[in-house]
Homo-oligomer: A and B are copies of this chain.
């Protein structure tokens, strides 16, 4: 499964440059308040969920301007009444609130890619269940922005009270621009982007009220409370005490005295814990604060078993209620702590709470300072009072550099995953041979059945992308039982899937044909394969960012004027998230993180022919040192070691386009696949693997 395509919408992103490695945008619902200028209001935190971020429209104007995009659009139908939206609007006019508009994005408070149902507020209010989208409700409008992956789904799921904003299409404003158009001028802006600033909107923080939760009420699912488990040291490789010790050394080196970890996978990795709070990612909702001499985990204690309690106690980690994170932040600031906050992942409520508490500290010290000057200026070099260290979380890189135990778990789980896949494909080819009609969802279900039988299986690592023919060209296609296609044996079939095992995370794409592929399909497949091989075999000097290698994967497609509109590689966690940073391999040149020994990246070039077929070939790779005969510049040269061992369908290869070296790569790969995976198989699946790992040769 690959990362977001280039046309994925990221409106209103707090920090687009950093968000690129962090996936989507906001972590909050954003109510827009109509308040007076220069009068920011901090509300008290609600007990009902994470704190919310708000944009407040300042000034006295009313909503009168007719935006130009509105004129370009034919209204397809009369608006249906929508009870939820109406209930939300009722709240707008409640005395003392005076809201103009309310923004509801997809995210939870931890920037998670997969989130618990109780935080799916945008899906609840709009009915649209896609993974990316932002809803905005004003007094008389309701609009939902999503990207090209979800236009069809959103058209089906939104009723006519909602306006679908097809992000990226000509004439469709970004959410931020739309706010400019529908909201009145006359205020000022804090923290939001230039676009919004043109009409003078102000951003304030609201902690006491989530309007969606207010109308959701009883029907809102309870927050998840599945028990947390200890991630065995034989898989984690490094114990918690050592990890905390390394982190503390980094804190000291950066001049900070504490750090807030809010990314759920970072908390899980650092504490060698795993959870089951969200689908596909083995994480639990929690914040972690690590100080130089203490560590506190903010988590619902109903999830904490006695084993976990003992595990944490050994590592000197105390428990605190999930909801008490902000008061702890205030306490730290009051103590003068220099807090390390990664603003690309930590939510704005935490950042602003800390900043406000620092201001308060300085005001108190300041008045004393005036009386006693020496005390005020503590030293020449240290800042006066608490001040934040705003840098990337050091856990992000530490987690990305897999240790030998993590790598071993990844290798082992990939072989078991390959065994399940062999059983699946063997079964599938037999069914197709028997002319059994199977839908895309049937296949995803059957694959899950095979994977479930493997040792240590926990979950899929994302929703299986199972696409026959034209559906394969929809890059993030997720088949639905009621609407998906029957797999057509005469078309290309693309299957992108992965699993969570107790020792590792997998992510693999294969594209196959059950009958006779066309010359066009073979040419495109072979060029995708050439790109896959070129990246797999790349050797590069240390300090090379991933984007430098991206062109290797596209070159063979470029030669005939083809390309693909997504990145080539994303990071993958070890028994953690299937998408992680900080590295990537992409045609977007912004990510300067060098590829480093122990990092895992996917290698997944593709080609998508609209309304016809999709092709993608994806393996996971681990960056390793290459023992080159020279070391020019006295540095290391790096390359990749494969984690994924599964046949690539040779029927789809046009041998005339493959060089001898590329053919040898394929034969050598298949020989390794047989060697590594066949011991885990027997019977027909083993025969299938044998048949599908035979060497090919040019005539």
Contacts and interface: CB of A to CB of B under 8 A. Distances in A.
Contacts of A550: 548
Given A551-B549, A632-B563, A637 B558 contact: yes
Contact of A541 (B541, B563, B629, B659): B563
The residue in A539, A549, A550, A632 that gathers the most chain B C-beta atoms within 10 A of its C-beta is A632
Q: How large is the interface on A (under 10, 10 to 19, 20 to 34, 35 or more residues)?
A: 20 to 34
Number of identical monomers bound together in the oligomeric complex: 2
Contacts of A559: 537, 539, 628
B555 A552 contact: yes
A630 interface: yes
Contact of A548 (B551, B560, B660): B551
Interface string A553-596: 00101111111010000000000000000000001010010000
A540 interface: yes
Contacts of A589: 545, 548, 589, 592
A535 B225 CA distance: 56
7 contacts: A539-B561, A541-B563, A552-B552, A552-B555, A559-B628, A562-B632, A659-B660
A633 interface: yes
Contacts of A552: 551-552, 555
Given A548-B551, A561-B628, A659-B661, 20 more contacts: A537-B559, A538-B555, A539-B555, A539-B558, A540-B558, A548-B550, A548-B589, A551-B552, A552-B552, A557-B632, A559-B628, A560-B628, A560-B629, A561-B629, A561-B630, A561-B632, A562-B630, A563-B632, A563-B633, A589-B589
Nearest to A633: B563
A562 B592 CA distance: 22
Interface string A335-355: 000000000000000000000
Nearest to A548: B551
Nearest to A661: B659
Instruction: Give the 4 A-B CB pairs with smallest separation, nearest first.
Output: A561-B628, A561-B630, A561-B637, A539-B558
Contacts of A592: 589
A631 interface: yes
A430 B551 CA distance: 45
A661 B545 CA distance: 29
A548 to B, nearest CB: 5
Nearest to A556: B539
A379 B557 CA distance: 52
Contacts of A545: 589
A563 B592 CA distance: 20
